[in-house]
Structure 1
Amino acid sequence: MSRLLSWAVWGPLAASALLAGCGTLTQSSNQTLLVQAVLDYKPVDGVGCVLSNAAGRWFVMTPAKVTVKKAAGPLRVDCRKDGAASDELVGARQDRTLWGNYVFTAGLGNKLDRETGRGFDYPATLTVVLRQDAPDPRYAPPEGRVVY
């Protein structure tokens, strides 16, 4: 009887601990971000921004929210309006699943989270600082990648 009670108590706790350690199982692959732009310390509306990472590409006019697919790598934020521009890389940070991945899955959960991006988050608010004197380079798509 005591053995059955022991499994009834510790079984669900162990299962929840394992799931807490793996973002691939417990988290969404999408994240909603607020994108806003400033120029000379003043907010600017109607700035066109392209956000891209290894998982895809999204367009937004500031200020607005956009849902992106998460990735372990950085998010590139390229914004332009009337000669003002900004091109920034925003790093992804590993969330609360980091220690659970190593403790409960011996690092396997971390490998899965890196591949799916689910164990990583970008900052919830992206404030893009525009520069008036920024050059206007013409970016070509990466080789072998089709852009529609």
Structure 2
Amino acid sequence: MNRFFLRAVAPAAIGLSGCVFGSGADVLDAPTQQVEVHAILEHREVAGVGCLLANDIGRWFVVAPGRVTITRSSKPLAVYCKRDKLGSAEEWWGANYQANRLVGNILYTAGLQDYVNGNYAYQPVITVFMHPAKPGEGENNAADPGSPVF
């Protein structure tokens, strides 16, 4: 029995631990992902829309349509978009787990939560549906300081 353990089980256990612990730098590095953001208003894509993307790790800004590199997380990604006098949007996108659930449960139980959280990803293309601005919303009633007053 002892000879079987040394020849078969021990090398397999050492190899498996190398797979889990061999990428220690990846556990400490924040996993990033590039997402593409599009804004739709009344069945048409709108250009020049400012969008703020945020999760529990950080915040990022992009002008839609456009791409931005964000840090992945297991928490939802909030997307806030707005263009003056045109409309705004607020949507939440959940993260999808990118690995085998059994492997994730084993790693989580082993105390490697950071490794498990790094396997989440958001949709690569995010399309937000904007609501039209209400009359008078986004208008500035004050005089523009650069315009002459007659």
Assess same fold via TM > 0.5. Answer: yes
State whether residues 86 and 134 of structure 1, in contact with CA within 8 Å, keep that contact through their aligned partners in structure 2: no
Report which structure shows greater RCO (CA 8 Å, sep ≥6).
1
Shift of 1:112: 2.5
Go from structure 1 to structure 2 and tell me whether the alpha carbon gap of 1:134 and 1:36 turns closer, same or farther (over 3 Å shift): farther
Shift of 1:113: 3.9
5+ long unaligned stretches in structure 1: 137-148
Distance 2:63 2:76 in 1: 20
Larger of the two Rg values belongs to structure? 2
Distance 1:57 1:104 in 2: 28
Aligned residues: 132
Shift of 1:107: 5.0
User: 1:82-130, CA deviations, whole angstroms, 9 ceiling, x for partnerless residues?
Assistant: 3311011111122215321224663533x3346xx41211111100111
Distance 2:97 2:72 in 1: 11
Go from structure 1 to structure 2 and tell me whether the alpha carbon gap of 1:91 and 1:39 turns closer, same or farther (over 3 Å shift): same
Q: Equivalences for 1:89-104 in 2 at 5 Å?
A: 89-103=92-106
Tell me the TM-score normalised to structure 1 length: 0.69
Tell me the TM-score normalised to structure 2 length: 0.68
Go from structure 1 to structure 2 and tell me whether the alpha carbon gap of 1:12 and 1:107 turns closer, same or farther (over 3 Å shift): closer
Match of 1:108 in 2: 111
RMSD of equivalent CA atoms: 3.5
Match of 2:44 in 1: 42
Match of 2:119 in 1: 119
State whether residues 72 and 118 of structure 2, in contact with CA within 8 Å, keep that contact through their aligned partners in structure 1: yes
Distance 1:120 1:27 in 2: 14
Match of 1:128 in 2: 128
5+ long unaligned stretches in structure 2: 138-150
Distance 1:61 1:88 in 2: 16
- Which SS does the other structure have where 1:101 is aligned? helix
Shift of 1:59: 0.7
After TM superposition, the runs of 4+ consecutive aligned structure 1 residues lying more than 4 A away are 2-7, 133-136
